[in-house]
Structure 1
Amino acid sequence: MSYLSPFLLVISSILACTFSFEQMAHAGTLESTALIRSDYRPGEIGRLCDSALEAARQEIDTLKKKPFLSQWWIKNSLLAFETAMADFSDRVEPLTFLSNVSTDAGLRAESTACEEKVGQFLPTLFVDPALYHTLKRGIPFSSAERRLRSETLREFEKNGMALSSDKLSTLKNLKQKLATLQTQFSQNLNNDVSTVTFSKDELSGVPKNFVDRISHQDGKFVVTTKSTDFIQVMENASNLQTRRRMLFAYLNRGGAENTKLMEEAIRLRSEIAKLLGFSNWADLQIEGRMAKTSKIALRFLEGLREKLKQRAKMDIEKLAEFKRSIHPDATSVEAADLPYLSAQLKKKNFSLDEEVIAEYFPLDSVIDGLFDTYSTLFGVRFVEVRNAPVWATGVKLYEIHESKTGEIKSYFYQDTVPRPGKYGHAAAFSLISGRKTSSAEKDGYSKPVSAIVANFTPPSVNRPSLLKHEEVETLFHEFGHIMHQTLTSAPYASLSGSSVAHDFVEAPSQMLENWVWNKDVLRKISKHFKSGEKIPESLMNQMISAKDFNQGLTTMRQLLFGLFDLKIHSSGGGVDVTSTYNDMYRDLFGIPVLEGTHFPAGFGHLMGGYDAGYYGYLWSEVYAQDMFSRFETDGLFNSQTGAKYRQAILEMGNMRDAIDLLSDFLGRSPRPDAFYRLLGITEPK
């Protein structure tokens, strides 16, 4: 997931030679060792946030006061606005980011407060008629400026420049309320400390190393609702009641409060859409994206659903049959069975044990191999900055160097261990955007800074952090976002990095997931945490054979989320999200949800920038697999193809439409064949 902060929620919807990894001591400059501060004094974040807001307001006011048709105004009005917004982003993104990662609850609260202020400010800009007309009258002098102008003005027009002043005021108030709801929803999830207490017997089947690691006292074991803990219990606990309790706690994160916040957000979104002349929020959001309309997005999902329906049904029947082999009196499967039966049947059919596989994937070894792979493909090398100031123990800072010149291209932080108050999933955060600037270093380009945030199993006394293979896949995916953000060469911050059409943003990352199924890559990233041995050929064969196991159910789950998202955002606003989700779950899977749960309350995507956009995960997969087909032909380590991919896709950002970027890289128009081949289905007609 490419995380979108309040700033980027507005701006992105606007503009919607081989080197191995090396760790080296690096004295560094102030720039390379103090890129993102986290040592703020109480009240300092608030003051810096207010200062950034005031500076942005002053710059915008100055811009609007420039004499009409002056020489400066004709040449510079659009670029001045772009620069003001980029400067503002560079000042506030590092401040609001801390709400997701800081170990200090006070700093997280201040960061959240800043996030709310930013969310209140940004909607006022794109409903400002004076600013709009100032920018509209500017004259672009290059193709790059024409692109910037069209994307910027589109956002103003999408935000109601044709409305009366009264309606514009109403629109601004609605957007500010919506921004507050979204921030509150996210913080409720980040601050959730729900746990479930079990006896040792109740955790029968759960790996001993996990049980030994978690908190326990007087024979009771405390399991958090962080995803790593949740998955361990749901896939391994043989006690159905244990799984029910775990699932109940996990699906009630955020609970009644977040359910209310989401429903109110949907109501506000519907009001905003209608005020702007759209039938619903989904049509408003999808306008300007690859899909163009919600009907086209829905048709795509429904076509997949029809093709996958039988396969998903067969997957459920296989799980039911497996359950009967364990419990002869069982008549059906339930929601709390699915992860467990899937994991255990996979283990039985393919002689696969995820815990054994994880022993070959210590985090550091995977990172080394990942860096080596991406170095080969993209002509860069990764250098750890030693002793860099960071916000938590275990966080690392890296420089990305050009392999040929040694030039520092960009930076990123790596934060992969769970802790209280931290963002609960995996995402790539863009903190400083790449852009041309007169104040940058000699090359005239501001170096991007990003952060990969994840929650992998933490190290213990006897073992390092070990990754399941699906977590390895997640790591390659998120680093795909990092590459998109940090290898950009687009001249404008609002069009650089992953600021692309929302239904294309996942494609570059999804494509790179394919590398974790290649034997050469698996050897490169593996190293048994005790023996140091590479993963055996036999185990790789078993893993690859099991790749498509339960593919119907896995894809149907993504379909469920995408269809649910489009349904609630195509409604008139008065929607019961829990019952809507529950009904759709039963319809797609043929079984009920666990009674008393509230899945939407924990569905952070829909309050974090993916509203009316979740369909994009499957939509972009079409293009991801098509791009990968070129690497299949040319070779997964073909540096020339990697260089072309970097130039045509990663560096370009949103300087051209996604369909044109794809055609440039592929040398032809995109087609869905590879995607449907991956799913083992024929293309919907």
Structure 2
Amino acid sequence: MGATGGEVMVSNPPGVCTENHLRWDLSPEEIRGKCAEVIAERRKAYDAVGSLDLDSVTFDNTMKALAHTDAEAILHMNMLTFPRHLSPSKEVRSASAEAYQKLVESEADLTMQRPLNIYQRIVALGMKVDKDSLTAEDKRYVQGWVEERFRRTYPQVNCLDTSDNLIFETKKVYGSLDPDSTDNILKKLANINVAYIDQMNMADYLRQVSPSKTVRKASSDAYKKLSELYEDMMLMRDDVNLRIENSRCEENSAMLKELAKLRAQQSALQGFKSHADSVLKMNVAKPAKKVSTFLEELAHKLKPLGDEERANLLKLKEDCQKRGVPFDKNLYAQFAHGQLMEYFPVEVVIRGVLDICQDLLGLSFSLVHGAPVWHPDVTLYCATDRSSGQTVGQFYLDLFNREGKDMKSVCGYCTNPQPGCLLPDGSRRISIATIVTAFSKPTADCPSLLTHSEVLTCLHEFGHAMHLICAQVDYIEFRSFCVEEYFAEAPSKLLENWAWEKEPLQRMSKHYKTGSPIPDDLLDKLIKSRLTNIGMNCLEHIVMAELDQALHRKTTSDPAKEYARLYKMILGVPVNPNTPAPFCNGDGKRYCYLWSEVLSMDMFYSRFKQEGIMNPEVGLDYRKCILKPGASKYTEEMLKNFLGREPNQEAFLMNKGLMPHKA
């Protein structure tokens, strides 16, 4: 059981600040007071840089001063806003949510009012500084201030006021989207559905394999009753979902249209044809036309596979109707993995994932006993480098569902409350990550058993966490989550591959009663099931990515009509007339998740699959070339260093069954 409050220190060689500055015992009053203090101090620091005499500017009193200000402010901002979804105290969650809104508003104000004066100091610095004395990361930091903070805010001197107001209003509208009420309803609905499916899975499994006739009879009766009720529950779920979506449309559609309009005007001032072009140019370095071509070509290649899968599902639906049993495509996708749950107790899975990450990346993880945490279920681990013994970072695990833990309808997520960076004294502050999931809690009779989908979630979030703690960057702006948008999910998608390979699956599993491994025939079926409905699922992602691009290329587009057009064109069937257009606010970057998968597959198949999925040399190369730089290098450079060539789509297409595997 963890403690609360305080800070954590770990012994370490000089040069690395291993202090964990995070506090989890802040009261509502302390959160509100500290929020006001952080806002005021950051404004004061920015004003100090912006008022420097132009002749007196140095790299230390401009760029380093801004960097240290942001590093300290972001640490405290994360600490103040983190509790809003996880604190056991309703009052603390409320105060944290208030702080989040105030900090969002202050951030918009800060980036509107102060960059011009700061930019003038940076220009003066550029005229006098010895550029050879700057590191590559120093130069990129300066470039980031000039290109991303200033030029995007003030594209034309004669349009300063107009652009200023547009961006401020855009950020305000964006901050007000996605009301909590609908998210909470969706979260509760998702939890009910998952629990119901788990019961059906277990009943179906026991009625077939239990050695006890009594258990088989009871399980068969339970399965029959659950099946009869499930169809009614599906109708109720669809009705609730429809009302929620309509509610979201009523609450958010007007703001989304206004947001698209403001973004379009802002981008026009910056000289772009559309907001999609602006975002892709500044963040992902891919023009909207290239993105569209990528999505269209991928949809064309996947269309035959999607058609075949749809035909199989329709046949399965007909068979279910003949047998008088309910049909739900999501349910039947999960039934394929229902028997596996007994082999995935959460303690075994976590131990296996920890071992895989340690062996691949040359790390050692140790539990920090008595560490201050926000809930007794939470644990803290310290990661050290195996060869040097130096502390690399830390990560928290908050795995189990509980009252007041708002997962906002997601399976899990990873955050970076303490980003790593260089401190003013030259020491390096370690990066600290948090992995948050909503797994069912163990009981006195049974441990927490995971579905294979939850094992994937676990690996996905560990992929993010390893990216965060292994990065060693000088500036907080280059922490791992700040990589180009199209690469952000690649490290997490990469680690998911270990959930489909025999050796790591065996390391992450054993029967919760007998300790026996997963039978080979069941393991083979699981690995083959990776291709189940893969075409349809990918096509649905393409629909959403195309919709996101369309809304930010042509702001007059009607979301519902555009969604119906794309759905019919890409999936080949008309959208249900009672289904409203999904709320799509991807900011023109929804396609990035697909491109992250392309890159992750290239890394996995080209290096790990070819040279050994548990090959420590490949793992160390990956840590050195991909994880360690964080966002301090461009993605293309990091990938070329790791792959030895430019990335391509071949591995992605092989994984989808669209190309033969190479010998």
TM-score by length of 1: 0.82
Contact 1:374–1:380, Cα closer than 8 Å, also in 2: yes
> Aligned residue for 1:588?
570
Q: Using the alignment, how far apart are the partners of 2:406 and 2:382 within structure 1?
A: 24
Greater gyration radius: 2
Alignment of 1:604-623 (within 5 A): 606=585, 610-623=586-599
The AA in structure 2 aligned to 1:588 is I
Change over 3 Å in CA distance of 1:40–1:28 after alignment to 2: closer
Deviation per CA, 1:192-243: give whole Å up to 9, x if none. 246569999x9799527699xxxxxxxxxxxxxxxxxxxx9xx988744422
Structure-1 residue corresponding to 2:398: 415
Give the letter aligned to residue 535 of structure 1: I
Aligned mates of 1:236, 1:499 — CA distance in 2: 46
Residue from 121, 133, 141 that aligns with 2:106? 121
List per-residue Cα deviations over 1:258-306 (Å, max 9, x = no partner). 3444333333322322233322221111113445211111111111001
Query: Matched residues in 1 for 2:192 and 2:137: separation?
Result: 63
Structure of higher RCO (CA pairs closer than 8 Å, 6+ residues apart): 1
Amino acid at match of 1:47: G
Residue equivalent to 1:264: 258
- Counterpart CA distance in 1 for 2:384 and 2:313 is 49
Residue 142 (structure 1) shift: 2.4
Counterpart CA distance in 2 for 1:288 and 1:521 is: 39
Q: Deviations over 1:20-51 (max 9, x none)?
A: xxx999x9964469743332223321211111
State the one-letter code of the partner of 1:112: A
Task: Note the 1:78-117 alignment, pairs <5 A.
Answer: 78-117=63-102
Q: CA deviation at 1:102?
A: 2.1
Give the structure 1 partner of residue 300 of structure 2. 306
Q: 1:63 matched to which residue of 2?
A: 49
Residues 422-431 or 589-598, more deviating: 589-598
Amino acid of the structure 1 residue aligned with 2:235:
R
Contact kept, 8 Å, 1:248 with 1:594, in 2: the verdict is: no
**Is the contact between residue 123 and residue 172 of structure 1 (CA under 8 Å) also seen in structure 2?**
no
Aligned-residue offset at 1:73: 2.2
Task: Determine if contact 1:359/1:529 at 8 Å carries over to the other structure.
Answer: yes
User: Structure 2 length as normaliser, TM-score?
Assistant: 0.84
| Paired residue type of 1:361 | F
Equivalent residue runs for 1:348-363 within 5 Å: 352=336, 354-363=337-346
Q: What SS class does the counterpart of residue 454 from structure 1 fall into?
A: strand
SS at match of 2:184: coil
Q: Distance in 2 between matches of 1:526 and 1:409?
A: 28
Secondary structure of 1:612's aligned partner: coil
Residue 648 in 1 paired to residue 625 in 2? yes
Supply the distance in 1 between the matched residues of 2:466 and 2:420 (Cα, whole angstroms): 12
Give the CA deviation at 1:366. 0.8
Deviation of 1:79 (Å): 2.0
The corresponding residue for 2:424 is 438
Q: Distance in 2 between matches of 1:109 and 1:178?
A: 25
Q: Which amino acid aligns with 2:123?
A: K
State the SS of the aligned residue for 1:600: coil
1:451 has 2:428 as partner: no
Out of 361, 367, 371, which is 2:354 matched to?
371
Q: Deviation of residue 548 (structure 1)?
A: 0.9
Matched, 1:178 2:170: yes
Amino acid in structure 2 at the alignment position of 1:306: H
| RMSD of aligned alpha carbons | 3.4
Is the 1:319–1:341 Cα contact (8 Å) retained in structure 2?
A: no
Aligned length: 614
Letter of the aligned partner of 1:636 in structure 2? I
Query: 1:162-219 CA deviation, whole Å, 9 max, x = no partner?
Result: 3347x4344344434433444433451686246569999x9799527699xxxxxxxx
Following superposition, the deviation at residue 530 of structure 1 comes to 2.1
Paired amino acid for 1:627:
M
Counterpart residue type for residue 428 of structure 1: C
**Any idea what SS the aligned residue of 1:412 has?**
strand
Q: Tell me, in whole angstroms, the C-alpha distance in 2 between the residues paired with 1:237 and 1:554.
A: 28
Shift of 1:368: 0.5
Task: Tell me the distance in 1 between the aligned counterparts of 2:657 and 2:37.
Answer: 55
Distance 2:530 2:541 in 1: 17
Q: Deviations over 1:493-533 (max 9, x none)?
A: 10122311011111122111111111111111102222222
* Percent identity over paired residues: 27
Change (3 A) 1:464 1:582: farther
Gaps of 5+ in 2: 11-18, 205-222
Question: 1:544-575: CA deviations, max 9, x gaps?
Answer: 12221211112112212211221222222x45
Residue 612 of structure 2 aligns with an amino acid whose one-letter code is G
- Tell me whether 1:52 sits opposite 2:38 in the alignment: yes
**Aligned twin of 1:670:** 647
Q: Which residue of 1 aligns with 2:237?
A: 246
Determine whether 1:277 maps to 2:275. no
3-state SS in 2 of match to 1:63: helix
Partner of residue 486 from structure 2, selected from 478, 495, 503: 503
Which residue identity lines up with residue 179 of structure 1 in the other structure? K
Q: Deviations over 1:42-78 (max 9, x none)?
A: 33212111111111111111112222132x5255422
Q: Which moved more, 1:392-401 or 1:89-98?
A: 392-401
Q: Which moved more, 1:522-531 or 1:591-600?
A: 591-600
Give 1:582 deviation, angstroms. 4.3
**Pairing 1:288-299 to 2, within 5 Å after superposition:** 288-299=282-293
- Quick one: structure 1 residues 383 and 190, their matched pair in 2 at CA, closer, same or farther if it must change by over 3 Å? farther
Matched residue of 1:670: which SS?
coil
Give per-residue Cα distances to partners, 1:389-419, cap 9 Å, x unaligned: 3223422222112223333221111122334
Match of 1:316 among 306, 310, 314: 310
Distance 1:450 1:667, change over 3 A: same
Deviates more, 1:33-42 or 1:61-70: 33-42
> 1:475-490 to 2 correspondence within 5 Å?
475-490=458-473
Answer whether contact 1:205 1:237 (CA < 8 A) is retained: no
Kept in 2, the 8 Å contact 1:578–1:599? The answer is yes
Structure 1: distance between partners of 2:272 and 2:361: 42
Given that 1:433 and 1:496 are in contact with CA atoms closer than 8 Å, whether structure 2 keeps it comes out as yes
SS at match of 2:524: helix
Query: AA paired with 2:330?
Result: P
Residue among 633, 638, 641 paired with 1:661: 638
Aligned partners of 2:419 and 2:430 also within 8 Å: yes
| In 1, Cα distance between equivalents of 2:2 and 2:25 | 25
How has the CA–CA distance of structure 1 residues 589 and 162 changed in structure 2, closer, same or farther, with 3 Å as cutoff?
closer
Structure 1, residues 412-447: CA drift from partner, whole Å, max 9, x if none?
A: 11122334451321221111111111347xxx1011
SS, match of residue 434 in structure 2: strand
- The aligned amino acid for 2:65 is A
- 1:656 is paired with a residue whose SS is coil
2:329 matches 1:338: yes
Q: Distance in 2 between matches of 1:236 and 1:445?
A: 57
Separation in 2, partners of 1:310, 1:434: 47
Counterpart-to-counterpart distance in 2, 1:388 and 1:598: 47
Letter in 2 for 1:299: T
Letter in 2 for 1:626: D
- The answer to whether the Cα contact below 8 Å between 2:51 and 2:117 also exists between their aligned partners in 1 is no
Once the two structures are superposed, what CA deviation does each residue of 1:5-27 show, in whole Å capped at 9, x if it has no partner? xxxxxxxxxxxxxxxxxx999x9
